[in-house]
Structure formats: structure tokens, C-alpha cells
Structure 1
């Protein structure tokens, strides 16, 4: 590393050389006055280095540039050759020196963007060099805030809505029903089953099945184009043996079941009549069939309306 140089003109500047990229910078001596080893930052290669000012005083100064070296030579020659210098010559010489010094200051003044004086502080570590610089400018913070605000507002509104629907599930159900009017929903109070019966029978193929029949009454003011039923069989200890969920809008109640196979019965039970419509005040007969499971152990049964789908256009 080359040592720092001094300005030949009245010691007004010191010349600092970056040990990494060998770039030289001029620094006013008054900025480091009274300090022994100030630190400097080279923005060209982002290197922080320090300079021992005691070495500055002991080393032989070098000319800052060729213009200043020529100025000193010309001035010394004039003083040696001119025994009696007139006042006009002295005034011209003084003006020439001031002009050269002004040119020196303009050409070799350090660029504020290239060199920053850090004072007599310790050399920062890896993170230290970033602490003195703002992470984001004011405009960047404003842009970031503008981008985050809509997302934060949406999340806040979503949190409020989730809390509201959690404590009031009926409100969420009402909104879903408005968005999807034909969505399956629990049966209303005016829709119920009456006159149920159960019987065992054998198919022509010899398999035993259990049939549950009944009638659905619609005493509401709404029409329905599908009604799902849930039926269960229990043993004598009321443990569940089998369960089926099937549509009441099938043709099983109007079919000769004994001539069918178990697979055909299950297929009919899953198929809904497209033209099915239970109007207000109307009744509908249904039949459900259990074709497998531990039917011989069945002692009890239950049946209920599992869900309904309102008609999109009601015919009253």
C-alpha cells in the first residue's frame, strides 16, 4: 500500500490512495485535523481503510499533478533569476499562482459520490457498512405501503367475516342458499314422513331383502325436485347393521321388485326421476330396499329426510 501524499500548496490537502483499487482522492486536511488514524471509504470498490497521519508527516511529499510541479519550477526559476522584482511582476506572479491553485482545486477536488470521510471510528464489520445507508427511500416505503394496504384490508375483512359466520352459521347458510338456490339443504319443518312400514321379502333369485316404505308430506309453501332419505337397520342391542342414503324420487315404489336382482335394485334406488316435483300440499310414496348386510340380525329400523333440493321454479 502506498502511503498518503500531501498537497504541496500550504498543506491544504492530503492525497489518499485506496489500497484495493489504487484510486487516489484528495481530502482537505482540516477534516482530519487532530486525528491520528481516520477511516476512509472508497465508493468505487466499497473498501474501508484507515491512514496513519504520523506517516503523513514523515514521508517526502510527491507532486499532486504535473501542473503543480511545473508551477513550482517556474516560480523558483523566476525568483532565482530576478534580483529585483518589480511590484507589477510580483502581482502577475501572485495572480498566476492563484489561478493555478484554483485550477488545481477544481480538477482534483474529491467527488462526494466517490469518497466519504467516516471520522476516527472503528472499521465496521459485514453488516456495519449497511447500517449507515437507508434500506428503502421514502418513495420506496410509500410504494411498499401502497402495495400492502389492499392485501391487509382484504385479510382483515376476511377475518371479520369468518368470525361472524362462525358464531352465526345460519347467516352463512342463508348466503349459500341465495348464491346456489338449488343447493341441497336440511329439510324444513313442514316436510315430514308418515305411515312407515318394513317387511322382509325374497327375490325370485332367492336373496332376502328388507323393504321400508312410507309417505312424504309437504305442508310447506315450497316445491322440491329431490328428497334424499337416510335409513338404518339395527340389531336388538340398537347397534347399526347397515345404512343407505337414497333418493325418494325413484321408481322403486312402482316396480315389481321380486323379479329384479340386488344390483338392479341398487341402480334404480340411486336414479332420480328428472320430472319429479313435490308441490306444496302434495304427498309422495317411496320405497327403500336393503339388499346386503347382516339382514337376518335386523330387529329395528329408522328413517328420516336427509336433505332436500328446492325447485328452481315453483309451481303452485
Structure 2
């Protein structure tokens, strides 16, 4: 302070009204005045500098705020990050992140970054889960929450979709399995004739045995429920064994008769009516016009029309002639065995 007062005093003693006296002593006075002015300027600039430093924390500061990707320049007089948030009415949720820490002092050009959490709802394994995360995509959010996904799992929205706040995510667990099953292969029946065996006799020479086929499927399950089944291979692991039947063809004929055959709807079987043959006996009836024949069992009486010797059941008549023909000339042979 003494130096500053001296400086001011020396400036004020310069009185231009005494210019003549000054001119007389200028050789001695000018150097002293110049020195005094230099000291004054130095001290004054140092004083201003001191004032700027002392008032730095109270001056508005421009900082860069990045709030969840939205960047702005803003002015604040806050001393700490916490004060800045309060000053700008910026609220943070419990899991939001901020850098630097709230206790850090605020300085000019400072960068403050806020990373806000996203609330998400995940439907997984039959349950809804409320979670949060910071990820940009659905896959990022799920990874943050330690939810593992298989490549075949279905995620809605897709894994690459943008994860916004309050997004609802559905995960369908997909499981692809190979499954095998066995199915029976039906055996064939082969009939062989034996002329030494009576026509009503039949015997099994070889018992048929079903074969086995192994089928492999590719089965898809969504959350444990089967949604598709695709056959991918089929292999016969056991061939079927055919059944062999021996059918007798030997017929012992008795009397032969010729006449007219008609038809009627009766039992719907290979049966017929005759006026005189024993009930339960068999006859062979042959169409004389085309040579077709059938063997029928006599189980009824009739017909009683002139020239008619047998009334065939509708089913039997259709095997030797059209039903629309009504009647047909036949040969009837009694069968004795």
C-alpha cells in the first residue's frame, strides 16, 4: 500500500503550471517520474489480477452437459456437480449414472455426462420380470441382465432393435431335438391253392410277422411345447415276414341242373334260395352266357316261378350278371364236400 500511495503522490506533484521550473530541473526529474509511472502500472495490473483470481468461483461458467446422448452448452454459477443438478432442476433415478461424481467442483469447460437407465419388462420362461439397463439394443439390455440366449431363441422385438424406456421384450425359448420312433410294417398275405385240400378248408402255412421301421424326426419346441415335427430319415430295421395261407380248391360235385336264376335283396351275403336243396348245402352257379360263376349257400326257399331253379342274393347275382338284367340262364351244380 505504501508503494501505491507513493506512486499516486508522485503523479500528482507534476504540475504543468510550473513548466519553467520543470524545464530547469528536467534532467534530474524525468527519470524519477518514468520510474514512478512504471511502478504504478505494474502494481495496478497486479491488483486487477488479484481481484480476478479471488472472484473466480463466483463467476458464471460455461459447461458441456451430455444428458443420455443429448448434448447442450449451459451456463452455471454452481460450485459442485450436485449444485449444478439442483440449479438446473435435473433429477436422477436411483440407478442412473453421472460422471464426474456429484461432489466434484465445477470448472469452466467442464463436461458432465449422465447415463440414464431404461426400465424394461421381459417375459421369459412363463414369467414377467421387471429389469433395467443402459444398453442401446435389446441384445445389450439382455446381456447386461445376464439373460443368455441361444441362437435359435426367438426375441421380440428383434435383438438388434433399439431398446427404449419401458420396452416390453418377449423371449421364446426354442429347442430343436432329434427324436426317433418305431412303427410296425404290415405283412403281406400270400394265398396258395392246394388241389388236394377241400375247397372249404384253409390253413396257415406261415404266420405273418410285422416288420419294424425306425423314423427320425426333427422336432421344434417353443417354451417346451411342440410346434413342428419333420421327418428327416426312415430306416427299416426289420423286414416283415409274409403270411402264407393254403386254400383248398378240391370240389366234389353232385347233380347238375339248368334253368333260370333271379335275384332278391335278402341277407347281403353269398347265399341263395332253392325249392328243394337242403338248407345249408352249397351249389356252384355258372352264367351260361359269359361263364362267370359263384358258390353260394342255400339258406332260404324259392323261387317258385316257372323255370326258375335258384334265387340268388343280390350280392351273388351281381358277380355273374348285371342287376338290371333281372334273370339269367345258369347251370347249378350241387357240391357234396
User: How high is the TM-score relative to the length of structure 1?
Assistant: 0.27
Structure richer in strand, relative to its length: 2
Name which one, 1 or 2, has greater alpha-carbon Rg: 2
Structure richer in helix, relative to its length: 1
User: How high is the TM-score relative to the length of structure 2?
Assistant: 0.26
The answer to which structure, 1 or 2, has the higher relative contact order (CA under 8 A, 6+ apart) is 1
